[in-house]
Amino acid sequence: MSRQDRHGSRRSLPRSPRFRMPRLVAAAGALAVTLTAGLATPLDPAPRRAEAAPAEKVLTVAVAQSVDSLSPFLAVRLVSTSILRLTYEYLTDYDPADARPVPGLATDWAPSADKLTWTYTIRSDATWSDGQKVTAQDAAWTFDKLMTDEAAATANGSFVSNFRKVTAPSPTKLVIELKKPQATMTALDVPIVPRHVWEKVTDFSAFNNDKTFPIVGDGPFVLTDYRPDSYVRLKANKTFWRGAPKFDELVFKYYKDQDAAVAALRKGEVSFVAGSPSLTPAQAASLKGEKNVRVNDAPGRRFYALATNPGARARNGEKFGDGDPSLLDRRVRHALFMAVDRKTLVDKVFQGHAVEGQGYLPPRFSSYFWQPSASQELTHDPARAAELLDRAGYRKNADGKRVGKDGKPLNYRVLCHATDPNDKAVGQYLEEWWGELGIGMRLDCLDNVTDPWLAGEYDLAFDGWSVNPDPDFVLSIHTCAALPGTPKDTGATDNFICDRTYDNLYTRQLAEYDSAERATLVKQAESRLYDLGYMNVMAYPNAVEAYRTDQIASITTMPEAAGNIYGQDGYWSWWSAVPADDSGSSGGGGSTGVVIGVVAGVVVLAGAGLFLARRRRATADDRE
């Protein structure tokens, strides 16, 4: 998911003979790792003295997306939510093998007979990085803040919109009462924050959590330093309940130029790089055969789409922005997409490292993957596209330009991420294909697409989200409830879509506990979104990443068999990563704790009679 900038997301454990240790795969992610053998680098706080203790093992991840916020109440970009996933625990986590819910901050959970009350047992062995105990009161306060403060609900408010009441009767007991059944109760991807720190915040819309370090958290890493558009530094949490990471320090280093990040990987200055959010085919090819470099190319959890401005508006009814009014006509939106040759984009831009786009959710999530029927599909058909434009009243003039009744030619602005080479490459094809229809376009490639996007000041935009195992979040961002309260507010909406038919389907799937029935409703919601034509998915890109094997001995992918490293539904990759010089040791710094957690989670799920096979958005994400 980003607001993406605008690519979105979030949040796994092993499989067996059912409970074997997680397989640590020497594979690479969207980041870069530097093992600093005592050398001072621009990221080092100071050179170490020769007589000092052995140099810390530092893993540096090269990222092509800047942080939007370090507040878990505001952050939506993939890089931000990925970092926050490392610093704050959630109630439940996802098994990296198959995305089953497993214990996180909660050791077990159970619903009442009517499914309207959920009781979670909060672990007693978790502590905040400042030494205070983590309790159920922290979780209750976090959820209550989302329920009562609209600014605090910016990023994750959709998770609690159906909550009636949240209480903590004891330090290890959390009780959530619902208005109606909610199928995502083991997929609440909400970072739990320390109440004793956050209750001092007065304005959640303005507090970015980036002024005082170290930031108090309870995840596998503690955030110790941050410089905007430069780096985020984290230290291993030696008291993490699942076990300490093997690397002492984790650094996310921002590269505006993706080629520069790849060059840094090649020189050993970083050890993990994934791109924005993946390497381009040319970059991946250039690394093939490179000594001590491995390229990981796996099915991704992200979709790559073209979003159309549906007319920005707030929940109070006020309209804003300056989207072209011609795009309010569904025939125009369909015509634009029917001019797009998705196969050409997969073959020429992604060079086979992607799958042609169809429904809203990627095929990796097979339970929810939807495909349009033959009669419904907006296939590549320029002649049909031209016919639709004629019917909509936009005919060609003597100069071959499509004009409306007011005589003004159609000329669209397309928001483009300056750091994403794919946006620019696809934009060139769109300019050609739409030009053949008589439609002009201009690529607006910006470092920050968020501001014009929130203001509704665009016509179309490249969009994409990293999807979680449970699709609820990426579905929720297209509901009317996700719109900003007023034009001055920031809502959870992705693209200002508000459709009552879609809303009804979204509400029904959220309340459905039967997995098959829920999947059917999710697919119906995808079908409605497809027909509306505001979100046109062009491709499902692979996760293409690379890392240095002389610096990382092993690392967990998700899914375990063939998956991504960067932007996982959890912290497994960075928590499990083993330095090359530690390759003889068992992975993860706490693998035994993982196995115990999975066993406990399975027992609980069986006792509760739950299904919950696949949960939560990958965006996060992401969002992106």
**What are the pLDDT digits (tens) for 126-171?**
999 999 999 999 999 999 999 999 999 999 999 999 999 999 999 9
The answer on 251 and 113 residing in a single domain is yes
571 within a domain of the structure (yes/no): yes
Same structural domain, 308 and 200: no
Cα-based distances in Å from 561 to 70, 363, 552 = 32, 16, 19
Based on the fold, state whether residues 561 and 477 are members of the same structural domain.
no
Closest CA to 93 of 616, 555, 445: 616
Of 374 and 21, which is predicted with more confidence?
A: 374
Listed residues 479, 514, 541: the one ending a domain: 541
Q: Of the candidates 127, 106, 122, which has an alpha carbon nearest to the alpha carbon of residue 173?
A: 122
All residues at 6 or more sequence positions from 71 whose CB lies less than 8 Å from its CB, including other chains:
204, 207, 208, 209
Q: What is the pLDDT of residue 583?
A: 56
- Could you report the per-residue pLDDT of 518-556, keeping only the tens digit for each? 999 999 999 999 999 999 999 999 999 999 999 999 999
CA distance readout (Å), 300 to 277, 304, 562: 10, 11, 10
Asked if pLDDT for residue 59 goes beyond 60, the answer is yes
Question: What pLDDT, on the 0 to 100 scale, is given for residue 490?
Answer: 86
Where does 231-349 have alpha helices with state H?
A: 258-266, 281-287, 330-338, 342-344
Q: Which of 514, 541, 568 is the last residue of a domain?
A: 541
Average of per-residue pLDDT values in the chain = 87
How many structural domains are present in the chain? 2
**In 3D, which of 624, 602, 588 has the Cα closest to residue 242?**
588
> Is 590 a member of any domain?
no
Residue 51 inside a domain? The answer is: no
Residues 104 and 203 in one domain: yes
Same domain, 352 and 283: no
Q: What are phi and psi of 254, to 5 degrees?
A: -85, 130
Sheet with 543-548, side-by-side order of all strands: 221-227, 231-236, 249-254, 58-63, 272-275, 543-548, 293-298
Question: Contact, 101 vs 21, CB < 8 A?
Answer: no
**Per-residue pLDDT band at 419 (split at 50, 70, 90):** confident
Q: Please indicate, yes or no, whether residues 437 and 306 belong to a single structural domain of this protein.
A: yes
Of 513, 541, 569, the one marking the end of a domain is 541
Q: Are 90 and 617 in contact (CB under 8 A)?
A: no
pLDDT digits (tens, 9 = 90+) for 191-209: 999 999 999 999 999 999 9
> Would strands 460-466 and 302-308 be described as parallel, antiparallel, or unpaired?
antiparallel
Site of tokens 């004629």:
390
Residue 32: the pLDDT is: 38
Q: Shortest CA distance to 183 belongs to which of 608, 610, 469, 528?
A: 610
Place of tokens 């330090």: 171
Contact status, residue 251 vs residue 43, Cβ threshold 8 Å: yes
**What percent of the chain lies above the pLDDT cut of 90?**
79
**Closest by CA position to 101, among listed 619, 616, 621:** 616
Closest C-alpha among 363, 307, 294 to residue 547: 294
pLDDT at 340 over 90: yes
What letters, b where the CB count within 10 A reaches 16 and e where it falls short, cover 437-463? Answer: bbbebebbbbeebbebbbebbbbbbbb
Instruction: Please give the biggest Cα pair distance in the chain.
Output: 80
Mean pLDDT of the region 373-399: 97
- Smallest CA-to-CA distance from 526 within 480, 471, 569, 481 is with 471
Mean pLDDT in residue range 580-584: 72
CATH number at residue 424: 3.10.105.10
How far is 252 from 294, CA to CA, in rounded Å? 19
Question: Does 333 share its domain with 239?
Answer: no
**Would 15 be classed as within a structural domain?**
no
14 and 23 Cβ atoms separated by less than 8 Å: yes
**Please, are residues 173 and 91 in contact by the beta-carbon 8 Å criterion?**
no
pLDDT (0 to 100) of residue 420: 87
Q: Does any domain span residue 469?
A: yes
* pLDDT grade for 448, boundaries at 50, 70 and 90: confident
Cis peptide, bond prior to residue 310, ω within 30 of zero = no
In a domain, 612, yes or no: no
User: Is the omega angle on the peptide bond into residue 169 within 30 degrees of 0, that is, cis?
Assistant: no
Report the helix count and the strand count for the chain, using DSSP H and E: 15, 24
Neighbours of 515 (CB within 10 A): 15
End-to-end CA gap in the chain: 4
**Per-residue pLDDT, 55:** 85
- Residues 514 and 557 placed together within one structural domain of the fold: no
Task: Dump pLDDT digits (tens) for 19-56.
Answer: 233 333 333 333 333 333 332 333 344 444 445 567 88
Instruction: Please write the tens of the pLDDT for every residue from 68-127.
Output: 999 999 999 999 999 999 999 999 999 999 999 999 999 999 999 999 999 999 999 999
Section 221-237 average pLDDT: 98
What is the pLDDT, as a whole number, of residue 12?
A: 31
Same-domain check for residues 410 and 271: no
Same domain, 337 and 256: no
pLDDT tens string 453-505: 999 999 999 999 999 999 999 999 999 999 999 999 988 999 999 999 999 99
Which positions ≥6 away from 577 have C-beta within 8 Å? 33, 59, 245, 246, 247, 552, 554, 555, 556
Domain identity same for 269 and 337: no
**29 in any annotated domain:** no
Look-up of token digits 């998700």: 558
Please report, for the domain that includes residue 205, its CATH number.
3.40.190.10
What's the chain's Rg over C-alpha atoms?
A: 24
* Among 471, 512, 511, 475, residue whose Cα is nearest residue 495: 475
Q: Which domain holds residue 434?
A: 302-541
Task: Give which of 562, 510, 506, 537 is closest to 371, Cα–Cα.
Answer: 537
Residue 345 burial (CB count, 10 A): 21
Residue at 503: amino acid letter: D
Does any domain span residue 405?
yes
Residues 105 and 229 in one domain: yes
Q: What is the pLDDT of residue 175?
A: 98
Instruction: Give buried/exposed letters for 30-51 (b at 16+ CB in 10 A, else e).
Output: bbbbbbbeeeeeebeeeebeee
- DSSP class per residue in 543-577: EEEEEETTTEEEB--BSSSS-BSTT-SSSHHHHH-
